[in-house]
Amino acid sequence: MNQANPLPGVPDVESPLFDRLFAQKNATPETVDVARRLRRDGFAVIDFPDADFDQLANRIINALNGKYDWDGWRNGRTPNLRVQDAWNTVPEVKRIACNPTLLQLLADLYGRRAFPFQTLNFPVGTQQHFHTDSVHFSSYPERFMAGVWIALEDIDSDNGPLVYYPGSHALPLFTNEHIGINPDTQGPNPYSHYPAYERAWESLVEVLDLKPLEFHAKKGQALIWAANLLHGGAAQRDLKRTRWSQVTHYYFEGCTYYTPLGSEPFLGAIHFRSITDISTGKPMPSAVNRTEVDKAHVEYAVPAKHRLRPVVLPPDFDPAAYLKANPDVAAAKADPRKHYLEFGYREGRPLR
């Protein structure tokens, strides 16, 4: 006899009622196996469920190859290469993000309908400091977010593999109150206190003796990770090689979607996220226990420095003046226009 879940605000895969919930689902043995691995380790590797994956991967690579600053990356001027939300223009990116078998698997794992809200396409390794997505993409109730990283080509230790810390997902979610910082006191740059998070993560890894693993993936393998798993990117040793991959971030229906990094709820500041369900193209409003958060409250609560990224330069933008005012950008030989739109606006960089 099935019993109602008394803890619907906890993802099924992380629930203390795991065994009962998955027994009641009549889930396939394959789904239960993925669930147990995700619950234990914070990640699970699967073969991406699309018979045409090789063709999809090749089309994505061909469509995006010309959109990256390859020379800038190899010369050190551009720290990383990525295209965000290519699903808008590349049908194959959207097809991977909206794979129905994967969406059903995620729904079975979490107990709510899953929907993709962001895609990232990388041609090389990110070489990114390890972090938890819960600082950037969180939900209320917590932990209703998952990432899926997919190898579009074979990846080994030389071309910048994904790095992750098994078991770290089970740690508490540490946000601004835990690192002792009020983001509203940090000036116009919404990311100025991010190094404090990195120091906290480094201390956790050291004291808890967490061991990193590298994902040496074969083309077509996918790694599902829990919201709080510590992960990053290893250094790319061979700069002549590529490391094509796609990351899709998923939320789950009926939650509030926000960024803890820029929030201090008890002071009234909540960085609500503007979310689109990629599978439908429709906005997904935040909700609390099936009650939609009022739009006026969302507009009031989002701090000004977290407003949507500009898509055009300010009318008085002067590239030469911007470089003069930001000598580090000039020294890096970065394109001033691209730098402002990607980094400068959110860092509060002076225009002149």
**Contacts with 135 (C-beta within 8 Å, 6 or more apart), sequence order:** 174, 175, 197, 259, 260, 261
DSSP state string for 280-334: TTEE---EETTEEPPHHHHHHHS-GGGSPPPSS--TT--HHHHHHH-HHHHHTT-
Residue type, 25: K
122 and 81 in contact (C-beta within 8 Å)? yes
Torsion angle of C-alpha atoms 8, 277, 40, 208, degrees rounded to 10: -100
Among 120, 125, 136, CA closest to 79: 125
Pick the CATH number of 39-308 from 3.90.650.10, 1.20.1110.10, 3.40.50.300, 2.60.120.620: 2.60.120.620
215 to 146, 150, 246: CA distances (angstroms): 17, 11, 14
Which pLDDT score, from 0 to 100, does residue 304 have?
A: 64
- Adjacent-strand bridge partners of 283: 276
- Adjacent-strand bridge partners of 256: 140
Which pLDDT score, from 0 to 100, does residue 106 have?
A: 99
Give the pLDDT means over successive 10-residue stretches in the chain (352 positions): 86 97 93 98 98 98 93 81 95 98 98 98 93 96 98 96 97 96 76 92 98 97 98 92 97 97 90 95 95 90 64 82 84 80 71 85
| CA distance linking residue 241 with residue 153, whole number of Å | 11
Domain ranges of the chain: 39-308, 312-352
104 to 107, 112, 114, 148: CA distances (angstroms): 5, 10, 8, 14
Which pLDDT score, from 0 to 100, does residue 134 have?
A: 96
Task: Find out whether the peptide bond into 283 is cis, omega within 30 degrees of 0.
Answer: no
Which pLDDT score, from 0 to 100, does residue 276 have?
A: 97
Tell me if residue 118 falls in helix, strand or coil: strand
Tell me if residue 232 falls in helix, strand or coil: strand
Each residue's pLDDT tens digit, 133-167:
999 999 999 999 999 999 999 999 999 999 999 99
- Adjacent-strand bridge partners of 215: 162
Which pLDDT score, from 0 to 100, does residue 191 have?
A: 78
Which pLDDT score, from 0 to 100, does residue 175 have?
A: 96
